[in-house]
Structure 1
Amino acid sequence: MYVICRADLEMSPGKLAAQCGHAFTSAYEKALMQRPEVTGEYKGTGEGTKLVMYAKSLTTLVRAYRDLQKAELPHHLVIDRGHKVPPHFTGEPTVTALGVGPVYRDEVEVIMKRYTMIK
């Protein structure tokens, strides 16, 4: 599984962890419905692999979202609503992350290579 988070929002470690949690959970729930066989394989491996990547901006995150839609792969766009954490979270809906999978690596390799791993 993968999560792509927006680097431009400069989220605190706690905020970033929460957004990743939302993205992983929601993408997994969608995958249970869309691709139960792949989800079963993923769950059967124990904890499964999870990678967190950065997108430079909303535009680059939306590009991955559209690519995943076209490929008909399970994904979930996380929109933070109503929270105030200045300067980027003003209470307005804010796209923060994109959860992907479970998927096979070769299904998303072309999409994911545009993003950098969080260190």
Structure 2
Amino acid sequence: MKQVIVMRTDLKMGKGKIAAQACHACLGCYKKADKENLRKWEFSGQKKVVLKISSEEELLELHTLVKETDLTCCLITDAGHTQIEPSTRTCLGIGPGPDDKIDKLTGHLKLL
């Protein structure tokens, strides 16, 4: 079981901003997740992996693919109070869910 956060790299966000956006995605998915998947994930160490994606277009394509599955997902849109413009989509949280299901969708992406 794992959770994946897919972060846009084209926005050139600072490290703190990236961390905050990843936290939003993690918590957003946590709130939506199936209780059984949460339990399995929590008892297996709550593995999280942060991957990079190069554009909003690619992020939205991935979001569409994930929505066609039974995996939990959460697309994060920033309020625009600090480094980036309001309504900017920054990242996508996926899971927690089975590694193999998530890897089918994100296995081609590299670690952030």
Q: Tell me which interval the TM-score lies in, with the shorter structure as reference length.
A: over 0.9
Q: Which residue of 2 aligns with 1:37?
A: 36
Q: Is the Cα–Cα contact under 8 Å of residues 95 and 102 in structure 2 kept in the other structure?
A: no
Q: Which residue of 2 aligns with 1:14?
A: 16
Q: Deviations over 1:59-89 (max 9, x none)?
A: 111111011100131010000013242xxx1
Summarize the alignment of residues 1-119 of structure 1 with structure 2, pairs less than 5 Å apart: 1-31=3-33, 35-46=34-45, 48-85=46-83, 89-90=84-85, 92-118=86-112
Are residues 66 and 10 of structure 1, via their aligned partners in 2, closer, same or farther at CA, if it must alter by over 3 Å? same
The aligned length equals: 110
Equivalent position SS for 1:9: coil
Q: Post-superposition, which runs of at least 4 consecutive aligned residues in structure 1 deviate over 3 A?
A: none
State the SS of the aligned residue for 1:82. coil
What percent identity do the matched residue pairs reach? 29
Kept in 1: contact 2:4–2:95 (CA 8 A)? yes
SS of the residue 1:76 aligns to: strand
CA distance in 1, matches of 2:70, 2:11: 28
Which stretch of the first structure deviates more once superposed, 75-84 or 11-20? Answer: 75-84
Distance 1:39 1:29 in 2: 10
Gaps of 5+ in 1: none
Q: How far is 1:116 from its partner?
A: 1.0
1:44 deviates by 1.4
Q: CA deviation at 1:45?
A: 2.2
Q: Secondary structure at the match of 2:5?
A: strand
Structure (1 or 2) with the larger CA radius of gyration: 1
Q: What TM-score results when the alignment is normalised by the length of structure 2?
A: 0.92
Q: How does the TM-score come out when normalised to structure 1?
A: 0.87
Contact 2:71 2:97 (C-alpha < 8 Å) held by counterparts: yes
- What do residues 19-76 of structure 1 show as CA deviations (whole Å, max 9, x unaligned)? 0000011111110xxx211111111124x11000000101111111011100131010
Structure 2: gaps spanning 5 or more residues: none
Kindly report the root-mean-square deviation, in angstroms, between the aligned alpha carbons of the 2 structures.
1.1
